[in-house]
Chain A
Amino acid sequence: MFGLFKKKSEDFLPVLKGKVVSIEEVPDVVFSQKMLGDGFAIEPENGIVVAPVDGVIAQIFPTNHAFGIVTDSGLEILVHIGIDTVDLKGQGFERFVEVDQKVKAGTPIIKFDLAFVRANAKSVMTPVVVTNKEKVKSMHVNYGVNPEIAATVEINN
């Protein structure tokens, strides 16, 4: 990695099949009020969560309902499957990768039982947030059903 070419922007794949909606619609003030940063959310149709970008898995919560991924370009991204899903204590969630693993955009990270989570958690809506706000020059989200690219983030270097 020569670091000669710093990426100016990152395209985010939708982490799930479904509808990309505004993060302000997430039924949790931490996300809807952008306390940790800006992003978008997905109303999922399926239960296979994929990496939105190329990067390294920075953390996976022990209950497998949320993970963090860091890109070479320096974006720190949080994906949180459903709302208040930590209360499910891991039931219905399964991880495919481990911390420090390098992944490509589209790599399956976590599988979850959509019907079970829908029935037992506050919401299945899944926010994707860039948590290091100072790196985000701008974010453009493509709202709607199954866009090829969910969002493009321009990066402050």
Chain B
Amino acid sequence: MIHAFFSTLQVAGYEIHLNRIEKVTEEGETVVGKIGISEVARGYYHAIGGKENIVEVDSCITRLRLTLKDASIVDEAACKRLGAAGLIKPNNKNVQIVVGTHAELIAEEIKKFK
């Protein structure tokens, strides 16, 4: 049984409280199904440091490909709660977040927040 309970989303103060998200499966699609692409994208936008930290947002079919000012501040736990299967950090300026096959849609939404 898939049980995802999404609690407070506080936009004011740019904080997201992903209280009580319980994901029985690892599927990013589950979280997208529960709260929608736009909310998932907003979550990633904050987890990667928002517009102060984002240099470029790109995607491949399964992952966000990000150029950041500082990749070390990425909130990996938040990404996992949003359904990311993993993070890859080739260096301090680049991060790939494996979000699943909605990657292109999520990237497009993140670009709107910038």
Number of contact residues on B: which range applies?
Answer: 10 to 19
A141 CA / B47 CA spacing, docked (Å): 38
Are B98 and A59 closer than 8 Å at their CB atoms?
no
In the bound complex, what is the Cα–Cα distance between A29 and B96 (angstroms)?
Answer: 11
| Residues 60-75 of A at the B interface (beta carbon under 8 Å) | 61-62, 66-68
Surface stretch bound by A, among B8-16, B49-57, B59-67, B69-77: B59-67
* Contact B85–A36 (Cβ < 8 Å): yes
- Decide yes or no whether B88 CB sits under 8 A from chain A: yes
Find out whether the CB atom of B61 lies under 8 angstroms from the CB atom of A30: no
CB <8 Å contact, B61 and A29: no
Does B109 have its Cβ within 8 Å of any Cβ on chain A?
no
B88 touches A61 (CB 8 A): no
Q: Which of B60, B65, B86 has the most CB of A within 10 A?
A: B60
Residues of B near A134 (CB, < 8 A) are 25, 27
> Are A59 and B61 CB-contacts (below 8 A) given A36-B85, A36-B100?
yes
A86 within 8 A of B: yes
- Whether A36 lies near B25 (C-beta < 8 A) is no
Chain A: minimal CB distance from B33 (Å)? 12
Chain B residues near A62 (CB, 8 Å)?
Answer: 104
Beyond A30-B96, A35-B98, 6 additional pairs, beta carbon < 8 A: A30-B86, A36-B98, A61-B60, A61-B104, A78-B101, A80-B62
